Amino acid sequence: MKLAIITGASAGIGQSSAKTFLSENYTVFNLSRRPCPVAGVHNITCDLSSPSDIDAACDTLLETIKTASCVALVHNACQMRKDSTTACDSNSLREVLETNLIAVNSLNQKLLPHLPDTSSVLYIGSTLSEKAVPGSLSYVISKHALLGMMRASCQDLMGSGIHTALICPGFTNTEMLQTHLGNNDEVTRAIASMNSYNRLVEPEEIARFILWAHCNPVINGAVLHANLGQKES
């Protein structure tokens, strides 16, 4: 049995990924607060900022992993807040890091020792894993940190038969982006014009790329941008 474990598959890129892996006959588990609406996905209600929720989720997942021939572990869930170097309360930063970073580590610590070879650990980063923009301090910090975690994973998993990569979507047409842009059509059009194709990336395009990354261990340790070619600003 081929298994995909996806955090944050209730919406956006995670939801599309769930659909894509299902279509390739994977058993798919979603970890998020809301359920994934895609029929056939196994939902584990999990607030990734809660260590006890993560422990309970891992108990269920470890039972299933025992019967899996390969696992795609996709760290996709994320909190995105508007904050900055001069306006980011440390409690708020701690909350964001809890979901975007600490939860990723907790899942890795509990699940990685049990993954069969030919598995993958795929981190969903961002263009903001390698650059910064104003007004997104906690997001930029957490996405840069994921890059470091991916590279460390690559080194620590040498010889295990498990590969890893950081997938960095560009502006993708999801709830997170639309909320961040204030659900404003004009702003969305301006953002869409910042790449070579004058449109947003569709979540399905990232989902297919995630599946491809899982199936191709040659990319082990890579930072993979998927953004339609962004204009340099």
Ligand X SMILES: NC(=O)c1ccc[n+]([C@@H]2O[C@H](COP(=O)([O-])OP(=O)(O)OC[C@H]3O[C@@H](n4cnc5c(N)ncnc54)[C@H](OP(=O)(O)O)[C@@H]3O)[C@@H](O)[C@H]2O)c1
Q: Which of residues 177-206 bind ligand X (CB under 6 A)?
A: 177
At closest approach, how far in Å is the CB of 42 from ligand X?
15
- Residue in this structure with the two tokens 């999801």, named with its chain if needed: 174
Which of 139, 134, 206 is closest to 172 using CA atoms?
A: 206
DSSP letter at 172 equals B
Site residue total, ligand X (CB under 6 A)? 27
Residue number of the CB atom closest to ligand X: 12
At closest approach, how far in Å is the CB of 69 from ligand X?
27
36 contacts 30 by C-beta, under 8 angstroms = yes
Q: Which two tokens stand for residue 52?
A: 């006890």
Name the segment binding ligand X (CB under 6 A); options: 4-12, 65-73, 181-189, 211-219: 4-12
99 contacts 78 by C-beta, under 8 angstroms = yes
Can you tell me which of 43, 96, 172, 219 binds ligand X, judged by CB under 6 A?
172
166 contacts 150 by C-beta, under 8 angstroms = yes
Query: Which residue, 89 or 175, has its beta carbon nearer to ligand X?
Result: 175
Task: Identify the three-state secondary structure at position 86.
Answer: coil
146 contacts 7 by C-beta, under 8 angstroms = no
Map residues 86-105 to x or -, x wherever contact with ligand X holds by CB under 6 A: -------------x------
Can you tell me which of 27, 169, 225, 228 binds ligand X, judged by CB under 6 A?
169
How far from chain centre, in Å, is Cα 197?
24
Which of 166, 46, 150 is closest to 105 using CA atoms?
A: 150
Can you tell me which of 5, 38, 48, 96 binds ligand X, judged by CB under 6 A?
48
Query: Which residue, 163 or 225, has its beta carbon nearer to ligand X?
Result: 225
DSSP letter at 228 equals S
**Residue 81 interacting with ligand X (CB under 6 A):** no
Can you tell me which of 4, 38, 57, 78 binds ligand X, judged by CB under 6 A?
78
Query: Which residue, 89 or 117, has its beta carbon nearer to ligand X?
Result: 89
161 contacts 118 by C-beta, under 8 angstroms = yes
**Residue 20 interacting with ligand X (CB under 6 A):** no
- Contacting residues toward ligand X, per CB under 6 A: 8, 10-14, 32-34, 46-49, 76-79, 99, 124, 126, 169, 171-172, 174-177
